[in-house]
């Protein structure tokens, strides 16, 4: 996500960071690099022009910020400007449920991931403690209704469809009537994908809006479409008055420029982003965190939230106690690996660490190594996992054969385990335990 922008902005930030004095020529050079980065990322030209002009005027018109060098002052101004374009300090909120159900209507082109997004949004709202239902009012594509109900079944929420009804407006009435009986907090409507130039379908959308009076109308945009997505969203905005945008496919080859164009161009916030194919790869959009990522300053808050969600607190305490008592086994190593894998792809996690984001592309990260280590440990007997010193040559052959690996790879895991135990003994002697989880290599 935002790899191109992060790489370019990080380079500028590094050049400015230590500068004690910055003249207009140095500032112009830095802003030229930023202008190029923004245009390469497909940010709207007028927005880029305004961005550069605002940063320059603010720097030339103010004194250094107390406690910051000249270079750090420029970085702060750049950050503030990126934050402003993204929507400011406050994250967009989900609608209040004054009269349940609060209906959230998803609209957009076909193929942008709208149906998958409906499932992801439902899971997100359910995780916040709300009672959620989903409904497909796409009467032209039966596969969409089946896909939505499959997702709903996976996250254990009701799904409203009627494959016999071919009138979207009549189907809408039926869905609302059924949903009111179940007292949902939120009901998510997955509408049919449509081109903004199809007048008949756009009129259908307008009538649907008037009928259900949604709390939110969210445009689902494919981040890889760049400015084309913005142009189309403007037509939808004119027709139904959008309340926000959800960006999908930000984990792919998206340049990320659309994120910096939405608020200024449409006047509505980005509310959520899809960061992967899995149903849990979905986040609320926090402008300050995204601004930090773009500048290569990391995103520690999101990383901590992921860790809190993925790591069982009682298990963590139990693991810490084992470190204190020097009772760490290969079974514990396997548990650590599983916890790390629950956090998501290692590359995405590293990008959230300040100073690392722009350098991740230079690192060789293979998440399959975790799978291989776990397979090796699983191929051991319970006794071998608790007492690895009994693993001799013949046992290693059996373990390698059972895990589909080599004796060399088995030896490597055993060596890594021994190194971890040595490190834990040192921690025990020093009496300092900061965090019980270390990468196994």
Pairing of strands 244-248, 270-274: parallel
Asked, for residue 386, whether it belongs to a domain, the answer is yes
Asked if 269 and 153 sit in the same domain, the reply is yes
Total residue count of the chain as it appears in this document: 441
Asked if 113 and 18 sit in the same domain, the reply is no
Residue-level pLDDT at 59: 78
Residue-level pLDDT at 434: 43
Q: Grade residue 254 by pLDDT with cuts at 50, 70 and 90.
A: low
* Domains in the chain, number: 3
Asked, for residue 95, whether it belongs to a domain, the answer is no
Of the two residues 303 and 388, the one the predictor is more confident about is 388
Summarised one tens digit per residue, pLDDT across range 391-421 is 999 999 999 999 898 999 999 888 888 887 7
How far is Cα of residue 158 from the mean position of the Cα atoms in its chain? 25
- Report the CATH number that the domain containing residue 382 is assigned in CATH: 1.10.260.30
Asked, for residue 184, whether it belongs to a domain, the answer is yes
Q: Which two tokens stand for residue 7?
A: 């790489």
Domain stop point among 86, 110, 128: 86
Asked if 146 and 209 sit in the same domain, the reply is yes
Give the three-class secondary structure for 149.
helix
- Arithmetic mean of pLDDT, 195-219: 81
Asked if 270 and 178 sit in the same domain, the reply is yes
Asked, for residue 92, whether it belongs to a domain, the answer is no
Asked, for residue 361, whether it belongs to a domain, the answer is yes
**Is the predicted pLDDT of residue 353 greater than 90, yes or no?**
no
The rounded mean pLDDT for the chain is 77
Summarised one tens digit per residue, pLDDT across range 101-127 is 888 999 888 778 888 999 999 999 998
In angstroms, the Cα distances linking 329 to 16, 342, 389, 403, 418 are 47, 20, 11, 19, 10
Domain stop point among 86, 114, 129: 86
In angstroms, the Cα distances linking 291 to 15, 192, 347 are 18, 33, 19
Of the two residues 357 and 2, the one the predictor is more confident about is 2
- Report the CATH number that the domain containing residue 243 is assigned in CATH: 3.40.50.300
Asked if 70 and 29 sit in the same domain, the reply is yes
Q: Are 87 and 288 in contact (CB under 8 A)?
A: no
- Report the CATH number that the domain containing residue 56 is assigned in CATH: 1.20.120.140
Q: Grade residue 291 by pLDDT with cuts at 50, 70 and 90.
A: confident
- Arithmetic mean of pLDDT, 89-97: 72
Asked, for residue 296, whether it belongs to a domain, the answer is no
CA atoms in the 13 A half-sphere facing the CB of 393: 0
Asked if 209 and 310 sit in the same domain, the reply is no
Asked if 353 and 221 sit in the same domain, the reply is no
Asked if 248 and 355 sit in the same domain, the reply is no
User: Could you tell me if residue 394 is left (phi over 0), alpha (psi between -120 and 50 degrees) or otherwise beta?
Assistant: alpha
Domain stop point among 40, 57, 86: 86
Cβ-based neighbours of 219, under 8 Å, separated by 6 or more: 107, 108, 233, 236, 237, 242, 244, 245, 246
- Arithmetic mean of pLDDT, 236-257: 79
Cα–Cα distance between 308 and 61 in angstroms, integer? 43
Asked, for residue 290, whether it belongs to a domain, the answer is no
Cα–Cα distance between 68 and 65 in angstroms, integer? 6
Asked if 33 and 80 sit in the same domain, the reply is yes
Summarised one tens digit per residue, pLDDT across range 132-169 is 988 887 777 777 778 888 888 898 988 887 777 777 78
Asked if 9 and 74 sit in the same domain, the reply is yes
Asked if 319 and 240 sit in the same domain, the reply is no
* Domain residue limits at 397: 303-430
- Look up the pTM and report it: 0.66
Asked, for residue 333, whether it belongs to a domain, the answer is yes
Q: Grade residue 282 by pLDDT with cuts at 50, 70 and 90.
A: confident
Cα–Cα distance between 91 and 109 in angstroms, integer? 26
Asked if 191 and 279 sit in the same domain, the reply is yes
**Is the predicted pLDDT of residue 63 greater than 70, yes or no?**
no
Give the three-class secondary structure for 232.
helix
**Strand pairing partners for 104?**
188, 216
Cα–Cα distance between 350 and 357 in angstroms, integer? 6
> For the chain, how far is it from start to end, CA to CA, in angstroms?
26
């Amino acid at each position: 996500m935002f790899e191109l922008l992060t790489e370019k902005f990080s380079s500028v930030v590094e050049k400015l960071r230590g500068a004690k004095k910055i003249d207009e020529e140095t500032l112009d050079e830095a802003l030229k690099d930023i202008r190029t980065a923004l245009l390469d990322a497909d940010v709207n030209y007028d927005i880029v022009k305004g961005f550069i002009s605002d940063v320059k005027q603010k720097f030339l018109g103010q004194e250094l910020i107390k406690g910051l060098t000249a270079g750090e002052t420029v970085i702060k101004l750049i950050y503030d400007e990126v934050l402003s374009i993204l929507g400011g300090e406050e994250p967009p909120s989900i609608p209040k449920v004054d009269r349940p159900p609060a209906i959230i209507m998803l609209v957009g082109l076909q193929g942008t991931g709208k149906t998958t997004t409906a499932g992801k949004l439902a899971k997100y709202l359910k995780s916040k403690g709300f009672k959620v239902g989903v409904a497909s009012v796409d009467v032209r594509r039966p596969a969409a209704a089946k896909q939505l109900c499959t997702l709903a079944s996976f996250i254990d929420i009701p799904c409203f469809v009627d494959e016999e009804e071919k009138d979207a407006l009549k189907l809408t009435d039926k869905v609302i009537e059924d949903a009111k009986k179940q007292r949902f907090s939120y009901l998510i409507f997955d509408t049919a994908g449509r081109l903004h130039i199809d007048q008949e379908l756009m009129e259908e959308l307008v009538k649907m809006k008037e009928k259900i009076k949604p709390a939110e109308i969210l445009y689902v945009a494919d981040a890889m479409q760049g400015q084309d997505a913005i142009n189309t969203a403007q037509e939808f905005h004119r027709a139904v008055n959008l309340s926000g945008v959800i960006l999908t496919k930000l984990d792919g080859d998206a340049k990320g420029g659309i994120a910096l164009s939405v608020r200024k161009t449409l006047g509505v916030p980005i509310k959520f982003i899809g960061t992967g194919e899995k149903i849990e790869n979905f986040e609320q959009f926090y402008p300050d965190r995204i601004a930090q990522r773009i500048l290569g300053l990391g995103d520690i808050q999101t990383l901590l939230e992921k860790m809190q969600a993925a790591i069982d607190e009682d298990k963590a305490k139990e693991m810490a106690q084992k470190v204190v008592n020097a009772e760490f086994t290969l079974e514990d190593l396997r548990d650590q690996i599983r916890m790390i894998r629950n956090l998501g792809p290692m590359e995405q996690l590293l990008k959230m660490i300040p100073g690392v984001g722009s350098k991740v592309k230079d690192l060789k990260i293979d998440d399959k190594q975790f799978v291989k280590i776990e397979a090796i440990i699983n191929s051991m007997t319970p006794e071998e996992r608790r007492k690895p010193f009994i693993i001799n040559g013949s046992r290693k052959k059996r373990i390698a054969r059972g895990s589909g690996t080599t004796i060399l790879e088995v030896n490597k895991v055993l060596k890594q385990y021994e190194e971890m135990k040595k490190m834990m003994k040192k921690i025990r002697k020093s009496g300092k335990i900061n965090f019980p989880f270390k990468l196994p290599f």
